[in-house]
Chain A
Amino acid sequence: MALFESLSDRMNHIFSKLRNRGKLTELEIKQAMREIRVALLEADVNYQVVKDFTAKVSEKALGEDILKSLTPAQQIVKIVNDELCALMGSTHQKLAVSDRQPTVYMMCGLQGAGKTTMCGKLVAYLKKQGKKVLLAACDVYRPAAIQQLKVVGKKAGTEVFEMGQIDPVKIAKSSIEFALKNGYDTVIIDTAGRLHIDEALMNELVNVKKAVNPTEILLVVDSMTGQDAVTVADTFNKTLDITGVIMTKLDGDTRGGAALSIKAVTGKPIKFNGTGEKMEDLEPFHPERMASRILGMGDVLTLIEKAQDAISQEEALALQKKLKENSFTLDDYLKQLESMKKMGNLQDMMSMIPGLNRSQLKDAKVDENQIKHTKAIIQSMTMKERRNPDVIKSSQKKRIAKGSGTTIQEVNQLLKQFELTKDMMARMQKGGMKALRNMNGGFPF
């Protein structure tokens, strides 16, 4: 989930230069804008979009109040951030639900954008919300596409409606009837990948649209797409009047500038990000978070949401109580680690924390094996030791190390980390995320 990471790096670099100064001259603002232009272009933001963007920002930045302001750099960051937000839309846009059953989502896009995989993810996502979803196999061209959708549907746990390789318009129509008869409230139509300049195939999409009147038409776009993203999105939008965009493959190291360009050109909201190969690797797109991310401000909200998903409300309350009573034990620590694992890759999580230097993060590989070791160590302790680590003296340490196949040093390290974590959590109770930011370089586990 290295979303826009490299772009953040760049922006951080630019603004760390600016932060170090008091007042800014016009020349310096120009310099900053030039670097923003470089960063955006290298992030594959469309040439024209970059041009408009930097013009807008420098116009605002060159205004009088910024030069008079005490911290001009902060103001530039704010202007850039505001403009980025404006460019990407201001709030997360949910999927529309139709008043008349069924709600129909039609997927479209170029070949290889990831439509079929995304269909499966959407099913998983909508099922979580209690929807009953039917997949309709309208990719009748690519060899084995129907087979692929069937496998994806099975993984996501839903039925796939197919009629073999006949007219997709017919299939789409029949799938709606099938959904109505069989109690499905949502239909997702998977269509074949096609070039935006292939008139015959684009026409086919228009006909599918006419036949089923979709609630949403979602354009699926590979986030690694370059300058051409604009042409593609513009053509699909003009032909079909799409309602939203889904960016895929954002778990790569792409800077994902295509997202910015598409929003700027079509005006249509980006609704989701695909961030991995698993069915649950789907995130709602939050423009304002993405903008903060670009500027290296981290993504605390996503982090918190992920944590909420992984830790149940009761667990959280129990933990809070324990912290208050200062009875946080090694068992709890282990539980915490386990739920961290549930939240996903540790490095992904760390990259969401604001204030952590990203270039440092790159080297600071979180060793998932270490979690295994930690688990082994804690499980080699007696219940009493887990409740009160103070009773662990050197002979106990020797026993624990032997039992867990680790060394005394590792046991020591764990105990120290446990104390640090306890301390950090207590501080978080008092000071919220601010305390986290002051930790200066990572979680103590």
Chain B
Amino acid sequence: MGFFKKIAEGIKKTKDAFSKKLFFAFSARELDDEFYESLEEALLTADVGLTATENLIEELKDRAFKEKIKKPEDAKELLRKIMIEDIDYDVPEYEYPLVILLSGVNGVGKTTAVGKLAHMFKEQGKSVVVAAADTFRAAASEQLEVWGERAGVRVIRHNEGADPAAVVFDAISSAKARGNDVILVDTAGRLHNKKNLMAELQKICRVVDRELPEADFRKYLVLDATTGQNAVSQAQIFSEDIETDGIILTKLDGTAKGGVVLAISDEIGLPVVYVGVGEKIDDLIPFDATDFINALL
């Protein structure tokens, strides 16, 4: 960029900033600092996070100026629109055979989500097999077997402490032999900063890639909606280590809003695919950006 062009750019920026300031000064009675502060508070208390919140407010101010919006309710509507745009992704349709692997930190609801997914695919007329690859947590396989019974699907399990990759291998062999459409893989909860556990997860993925290369392989991160900004770190590391395709946001039936997915979308661009809204087997539903934002704001 040439020197003069730089100056010109600089002047333009200043001019924009100045006229924007002027604009807000005039509309101050409506869209004043207090209004924006209240928005900021709403976003922050919904766990949207500081950076994403600031970005959103900045964009809102920008567009409110361009679109000459002066009323708080219109501005709020615009903010909703911006937020929906932010998290609305086109998620590609499934192809079969399909492998879905669920991973995440401890206690987010992976096993429950696997049970609900099994039910969902079964309802769609697919044949499903579940791999109980959480061989670490006490009684995880037993828990999954109860879900398997409820959903009416087969669960492949080994003993506690077995190699989870071996469980997945067996599940794939079994699915091949019986011509199953969907393989769901439940994995042990792991904190993303534990290198060896993340390596174990990569090994499981390698087994799927090797044994069923023709499959549509989706890796979802299961995220507890009550989680705060640490979710960004979780999404980041899980995405890096196993190329995560999307998020399953659980426990949205509480009072937490799960706003952190906006921060995740902002930084990593990871879409939410399903949301968990209750304890019943059909309480896992496809994500709807509009509904989600309307509940949040």
Chain A residues at the B interface, C-beta cutoff of 8 Å: 2, 38, 41-44, 46-47, 110-114, 116, 141-145, 147-148, 150-152, 155, 195-197, 222, 224-229, 231-232, 249, 251-255, 257-258, 277
Instruction: Select from chain B the residue with minimum beta-carbon distance to A50.
Output: B44
Cβ-defined contact, A144 with B139, below 8 A: yes
Within 8 A of A (CB), among B152-204: 160, 191-193
Q: Which residues of B (210-257) have their CB < 8 Å from a CB of A? A: 224, 226-231, 233, 251, 253-257
By size class, the interface of chain B is: 35 or more
How distant is the Cα of A251 from the Cα of B230 in the complex, in angstroms?
Answer: 12
Whether B230 lies near A152 (C-beta < 8 A) is no
Q: Is A228's CB under 8 angstroms from B139's CB?
A: no
User: Are B106 and A112 in contact, CB atoms less than 8 angstroms apart?
Assistant: yes
B253 touches A112 (CB 8 A): no
Residues of chain B touching chain A, judged by Cβ–Cβ distance below 8 Å, are 41, 44-47, 49-50, 105-109, 136-140, 142-143, 145-147, 160, 191-193, 224, 226-231, 233, 251, 253-257, 260, 279
Q: How far is the CB of A256 from chain B (nearest CB, A)?
A: 9
Task: Say whether B45 contacts A47, CB under 8 Å.
Answer: yes
A sample of 12 cross-chain residue pairs with beta-carbon separation below 8 angstroms, ordered by A number, consists of: A44-B230, A110-B251, A141-B279, A143-B147, A144-B146, A145-B139, A225-B226, A226-B231, A227-B46, A227-B228, A227-B256, A249-B107
Contact partner, B256, options A111, A144, A226, Cβ 8 Å: A226
Taken together as a complex, chains A and B put the C-alpha atoms of A152 and B139 apart, in Å, by 9
Question: For residue B47, which residue of chain A has the nearest CB?
Answer: A226
- B229:A43 contact, CB within 8 angstroms: yes
Interchain CB contact (< 8 A) of A232 among B41, B49, B226: B226
Given contacts A197-B254, A228-B256, A232-B255, contact A142 B229 (CB under 8 A): no
Q: Are A197 and B228 in contact (CB under 8 A)?
A: no
Question: Which residues on A sit within 8 Å (CB–CB) of B256?
Answer: 226-228, 231
**Bound form: Cα–Cα A133–B228 in Å:** 35
The smallest beta-carbon distance between B253 and chain A, in angstroms, is 6
The residue that B107 contacts in the complex, of A2, A38, A113, with Cβ under 8 A, is A113
Name the B residues within 8 Å of A142 (CB-CB): 143
Asked if residues B229 and A114 are in contact (CB atoms below 8 Å), the reply is no
Contacts of A224 in B (CB 8 A): 105, 224, 227-228, 230-231
**Knowing A143-B147, A144-B146, A151-B138 touch, does A255 contact B229 (C-beta < 8 A)?**
yes
In the assembled complex, how far is the CB of residue A156 from the closest CB belonging to chain B, in whole angstroms?
A: 11
A159 to chain B minimum Cβ distance, whole angstroms, is 16
* SS of A interface (majority): loop
A-side contacts of B142, CB under 8 Å:
143-144, 147-148
Contact B109 A112 (CB under 8 A): yes
Contact assessment for A231 and B228 in the assembled complex, using a CB-CB cutoff below 8 Å: no
Residue of B44, B139, B191, B228 with most partner-chain A CB within 10 A = B228
The chain B residue sitting closest to A112, CB to CB, is: B107
User: Which B residue sits closest to A141, measured CB to CB?
Assistant: B279
CB distance from B150 to the nearest CB of A (A): 8
Residues of B with C-beta under 8 A to A254? 228, 230, 233
Residue on B with the closest CB to A113? Answer: B107
Kindly report which residue of chain B lies nearest to residue A222, judged by CB atoms: B107
Measured CB to CB, the closest approach of chain B to A225, in angstroms, equals 5
Picked from A155, A196, A226, the residue with its CB within 8 Å of the CB of B228 is A226
Given known pairs A113-B107, A226-B260, A249-B105, the reply for A152 and B138 (CB within 8 Å) is yes
A-B contact sample (20 more), CB < 8 A, given A147-B142, A148-B143: A41-B50, A44-B230, A112-B107, A112-B109, A141-B279, A150-B139, A151-B138, A151-B160, A225-B228, A227-B45, A227-B228, A227-B256, A228-B257, A229-B226, A232-B255, A249-B191, A253-B230, A254-B228, A254-B233, A258-B228
Which residues of the other chain, A, contact B47 by a CB distance below 8 angstroms? 44, 226-228
Max count, chain B CB within 10 A of own CB: residue among A2, A228, A251, A254: A228
List of A residues within 8 angstroms of B230 by Cβ: 44, 224, 252-255
Q: Which residues of A contact B145 (CB under 8 A)?
A: 143-144
Residues of B within 8 A of A47 (CB): 41, 44-45
B49 contacts across to A, CB distance below 8 A: 42
Across the interface, do B255 and A231 meet the contact criterion of CB distance under 8 Å?
A: yes
Contacts of A152 in B (CB 8 A): 138
Contacting residues, chain B, for A145 (C-beta < 8 A): 139, 143
Which of B109, B139, B147, B191 touches A251 (beta carbons < 8 Å)?
A: B191
Residue of B nearest to A221 (CB): B226
Cα of A41 to Cα of B44 in the assembled complex, Å: 8
Q: Return the 9 tightest CB-CB contacts between A and B, nearest first.
A: A226-B228, A112-B107, A44-B228, A151-B138, A143-B146, A144-B142, A148-B139, A144-B143, A147-B139
- In the assembled complex, the Cα of A141 lies from the Cα of B112 at a distance in Å of 12
CA of A116 to CA of B143 in the docked complex: distance in angstroms? 14
CB distance from B140 to the nearest CB of A (A): 8
Q: In whole angstroms, what is the CA distance A42 to B51 when docked?
A: 9
CB proximity of A265 to chain B, nearest CB, Å:
13
Contact in complex: B107, A111 (CB < 8 Å):
yes
Roughly how many angstroms separate A369 CA and B256 CA in the complex, as a whole number? Answer: 43
The minimal Cβ–Cβ distance linking B16 to chain A, given in whole angstroms, is 25
CB neighbours (8 Å) of B255 from chain A are: 196-197, 228, 231-232
| Contact status A253-B254, CB under 8 Å | no
Chain B residues near A44 (CB, 8 Å)?
Answer: 47, 228-230
Q: Residue among B44, B136, B139, B233 with the most chain A CB within 10 A? A: B139
Specify which of B44, B105, B139 is in contact with A151 (CB 8 Å cutoff): B139
Chain A contacts of B147 at CB under 8 A? 143
